[in-house]
Structure 1
């Protein structure tokens, strides 16, 4: 009796695994897009004091606080005003594009580049923040936005009609 239950355990595990594999990939892709977009967007909101007005604190951070950690040295950011503007702009635009699923793979590459720069600025955050962000951005870049996206709608709208005979 016990032996019979143990031999069927792999079958139950396989059934459950098959059931889990039927979860729509597009929902997973949507969740990944949101998960990586939210922290960047929230950070971007802190860098602006209204439409197109960069906050003084954002510029201060890049001028006085943030340092690039390269080859054992701490280097000041070049052009802190420009860096604050680029950071604030990227942290607003790229997450919005990710959530909409528009230019998704390119937006994920942008988030990946920003994550690398953040890693060079705050090296201690790699395990809790930067590694998960990079993994999610890599997944979105690799697997695309999924069906719940503007990219998918655009591709469907402009793709040549398939021949009904084939």
Structure 2
């Protein structure tokens, strides 16, 4: 390796090492950011249910579902799945559910302007990131995995 390449490779390896150390924190921040977006949306829906039902009847055209059912499912999904996502409990399941909810929102509301549509694409990309990488080490999923692993090892030692 020549004199120029060696420092570049060392710097790259250092960057990778620190990036790997930051990954759990970055995934936690991403989960909290998305929880805030979707949870607030769910709170807005329950704040005035009559307006929510009117919007799902007149504005949002969710395919295959009656407006009241679509409104209830969207609200429960935004509130419940966003909390699961923030806790990192069933993180991939929560990310997949919110991704589907986000996609249905884009499909069912043709009046979205381009800027608003870009927000939905951005959220979708973030949810796909969590779907691909999971909740990370700072999550209940990771804690449960460690706890179950320790329990299984303890059970193996007893038998």
Q: Please say whether Structure 1 and Structure 2 have the same fold, judged by a TM-score greater than 0.5.
A: yes
Q: Which runs of 5+ in 2 are unaligned?
A: none
Q: How many aligned residue pairs are there?
A: 148
Provide TM-score, normalisation by structure 1.
0.75
Equivalence for 1:21: 19
Provide TM-score, normalisation by structure 2.
0.78
The answer on whether the counterparts of 2:59 and 2:109 sit within 8 Å (CA) in structure 1 is no
Q: Within 5 Å, which residues of 2 pair with 1:140-159?
A: 140-159=130-149
Equivalence for 1:56: 50
Query: Looking at CA atoms only, which structure, 1 or 2, has the larger radius of gyration?
Result: 1
* Local SS of the residue matching 2:136: coil
* Local SS of the residue matching 1:67: coil
Report the structure, 1 or 2, having the larger helix content. 2
Q: Which runs of 5+ in 1 are unaligned?
A: 1-5, 69-74
Residue 135 (structure 1) aligned with residue 129 (structure 2): no
CA deviation digits over 1:2-25, x for unaligned, max 9?
xxxx99995796477356525421
Equivalence for 2:153: 161
Structure 1 stretch 79-88 or stretch 20-29: which is displaced more? 20-29
The answer on whether the counterparts of 2:52 and 2:71 sit within 8 Å (CA) in structure 1 is yes
Q: Which of these residues, 27, 43, 46, is aligned with residue 44 of structure 2?
A: 46
